[in-house]
């Protein structure tokens, strides 16, 4: 693992810096929006704007890169990102923030596509799985670290927005200085919704609902904290807990995923998350319970995303996986646009604590649908499933496609190795049986009376 990190450490540092800046601005929107007196519905529209831009960037950026190259696209998007972050406190109006968030979402999506292309190009087939895991950990650590930085300033002024802009700006240096080659960036055309649903109804419905969950957690958590009078440091800790849980639960859920029916695991994880959200709803003003609820609910969300991707790939041939991954990313993005709108409307008209109820009901629908799908399709034998690989919802279609293809190739290699091992054991058993038979024959000859 150390050798793997040595080859991509500069890229990973750049990713951490990007996530520090982006993670800060997500929470700052809720904090500053509360100070400016924005309503829940207005901040929900602002949140949805980011994911609309992110979805558009995932589709358009590969074409831009093909036309003018990685470096120019990366530099241009980075400049607009820095400018957008600084402009947020200068134009504190809902309509302006929505427009800026669309731009920021578009730019961040393009930055991810470009960085992930270089990261993928820097790895080999043998190291790609470890590189992807390191990349996902770097992203999560960046988001968690961003919440800690928020405690050193006041959202009422521009200082924290400027810090976020600086972090994103300096993140380009290690990435550009370490990326020497020009990788191929060609995202597959997303699979149509009808075809995707026919191949995996559970993943299509589940990942749409999970898009709603993820956008509510990342975009509306700070809004919720502001409306129930949490302090800035408490809000930062609350948001950090949503992502810290992902670091803890990702590995055990991934381990279980390769050893049992994934539908049962999806059902179980969704039920656990639903229970955590109900705990958050009934906890009142108890901060400890709310932090625990955020830790568990957020900790289930990210592994569920990877579970849905893996479950989809279980039923697809290798050549269809990139298109299916693109379709799932698109479906997730649509859910991410609609989720905050639903949560914002509920928090506006029914009170801020419906933040938890919307999440609980969404997780409940996922679990019920997973249970229903168990009655409609036979479970796939564990040995025929693809390998699980941790993929974050913030990953671009490039990373999702790469992860899916790598997981399929890894599973195929493991199956071939297992078959070779089984054949070797059978050959060894046959050789031992022949040796025993010869030994018995020789013994019988020695025991024959001589005339």
Query: Could you report the per-residue pLDDT of 351-367, keeping only the tens digit for each?
Result: 999 999 999 999 999 99
The pLDDT score that the predictor gives to residue 328 is: 83
Bigger pLDDT: 389 or 110? 110
Are the CB atoms for 4 and 168 separated by under 8 Å?
no
Average pLDDT (10-36) is: 89
Bigger pLDDT: 389 or 274? 274
Percentage above 70 pLDDT, the chain: 83
Exposure string over 91-128, b if 16+ CB within 10 A, otherwise e: eeebeebbbbbbbbbbbbbbbbbbbbbbbbbbbeeebb
Query: Could you report the per-residue pLDDT of 276-297, keeping only the tens digit for each?
Result: 999 999 988 889 999 999 999 9
Are the CB atoms for 187 and 398 separated by under 8 Å?
yes
SS3 helix, strand, coil % of the chain, rounded to 5?
85, 0, 15
**Average pLDDT, rounded, for the chain:** 84
CA distance 283 to 346: 19
- Three-state SS for 448? coil
At residue 413, does pLDDT exceed 80? no
The pLDDT score that the predictor gives to residue 139 is: 86
CA distance 188 to 190: 6
Q: How many CA atoms lie within 13 A of 438 on its CB side?
A: 6
CA distance 70 to 110: 10
The pLDDT score that the predictor gives to residue 259 is: 83
- Three-state SS for 450? coil
The pLDDT score that the predictor gives to residue 5 is: 61
CA-based max dimension of the chain: 114
Are the CB atoms for 49 and 98 separated by under 8 Å?
yes
Average pLDDT (121-127) is: 69
CA distance 137 to 141: 6
User: pTM of the predicted model, to two decimals?
Assistant: 0.86
Residue with tokens 């890229």: 11
The pLDDT score that the predictor gives to residue 167 is: 92
- Banded model confidence at residue 7, pLDDT cuts 50, 70, 90: low
Residue with tokens 């020009």: 182
The pLDDT score that the predictor gives to residue 109 is: 87
As a dihedral over the C-alpha atoms of residue 337, residue 391, residue 386, residue 298, rounded to 10 degrees, the angle is: -70
List all residues 6 or more positions away from 164 whose beta carbon is below 8 Å from its beta carbon: 20, 21, 22, 24, 25, 28, 85, 146
Are the CB atoms for 116 and 175 separated by under 8 Å?
no
List all residues 6 or more positions away from 37 whose beta carbon is below 8 Å from its beta carbon: none
Alpha helices in 314-396 (DSSP H): 321-350, 354-374
Closest CA to 213 of 246, 176, 261: 246
At residue 350, does pLDDT exceed 60? yes
Q: DSSP per residue over 383-438, as a string?
A: GGSPPP----TT--HHHHHHHHHHHHHHHHHHHHHHHHHHHHHHHHHHHHHHHHHH
- Three-state SS for 259? coil
Query: Could you report the per-residue pLDDT of 142-196, keeping only the tens digit for each?
Result: 999 999 999 888 888 899 999 999 998 898 888 777 665 655 555 556 777 788 8
Q: DSSP per residue over 112-155, as a string?
A: HHHHHHHHHHT--TTTHHHHHHHHHHHHHHHHHHHHHHGGGS-T
């Amino acid at each position: 693992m150390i050798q793997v990190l040595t080859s991509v450490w500069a890229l990973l540092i750049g990713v951490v810096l990007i996530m520090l800046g982006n993670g800060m601005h997500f929470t700052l929107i809720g904090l500053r929006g509360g100070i400016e007196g924005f309503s829940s519905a207005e901040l929900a529209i602002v949140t949805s704007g980011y994911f609309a831009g992110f979805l558009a960037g995932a589709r358009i950026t590969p074409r831009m890169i093909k036309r003018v190259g990685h470096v120019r696209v990366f530099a241009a998007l980075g400049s607009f990102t820095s400018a957008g972050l600084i402009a947020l406190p200068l134009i504190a109006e809902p309509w302006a923030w929505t427009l800026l968030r669309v731009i920021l979402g578009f730019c961040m999506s393009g930055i991810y596509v470009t960085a992930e292309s270089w990261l993928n190009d820097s790895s080999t087939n043998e190291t790609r799985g470890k590189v992807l895991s390191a990349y996902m950990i770097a992203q999560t650590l960046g988001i968690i670290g961003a919440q800690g930085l928020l405690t050193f300033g006041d959202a009422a002024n521009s200082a924290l927005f400027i810090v976020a802009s600086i972090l994103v700006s300096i993140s380009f240096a290690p990435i550009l200085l370490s990326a020497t080659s020009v990788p191929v960036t060609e995202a597959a055309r997303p699979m149509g919704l009808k075809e995707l649903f026919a191949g995996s109804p559970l993943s299509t419905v589940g990942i749409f609902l999970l898009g709603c969950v993820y956008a509510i957690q990342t975009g509306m958590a700070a809004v919720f904290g502001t409306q129930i009078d949490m302090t800035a440091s408490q809000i930062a800790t609350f948001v950090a807990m949503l992502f810290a849980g992902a670091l803890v639960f990702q590995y055990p859920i991934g381990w279980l995923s390769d050893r049992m029916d994934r539908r049962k695991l999806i059902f179980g994880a969704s039920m656990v998350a639903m229970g955590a959200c109900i705990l958050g709803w009934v906890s009142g003003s108890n901060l400890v319970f709310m932090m625990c609820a955020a830790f568990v609910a957020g900790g289930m969300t990210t592994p569920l995303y990877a579970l849905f991707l893996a479950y989809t790939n279980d039923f697809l041939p290798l050549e269809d996986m990139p298109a299916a991954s693109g379709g799932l990313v698109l479906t997730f993005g649509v859910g991410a646009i609609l989720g905050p709108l639903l949560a914002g409307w509920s928090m506006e008209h029914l009170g801020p604590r419906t933040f938890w109820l919307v999440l609980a009901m969404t997780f409940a629908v996922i679990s019920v649908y997973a249970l229903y799908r168990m009655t409609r399709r036979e479970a796939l034998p564990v040995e025929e499933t693809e390998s699980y690989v941790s993929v974050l919802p913030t990953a671009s279609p490039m990373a999702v496609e790469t992860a899916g293809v790598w997981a399929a190739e890894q599973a195929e290699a493991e199956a071939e190795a297992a078959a070779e091992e089984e054949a070797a054991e059978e050959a060894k058993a046959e050789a031992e049986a022949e040796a025993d038979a010869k030994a018995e024959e020789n013994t019988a000859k020695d025991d024959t009376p001589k005339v």
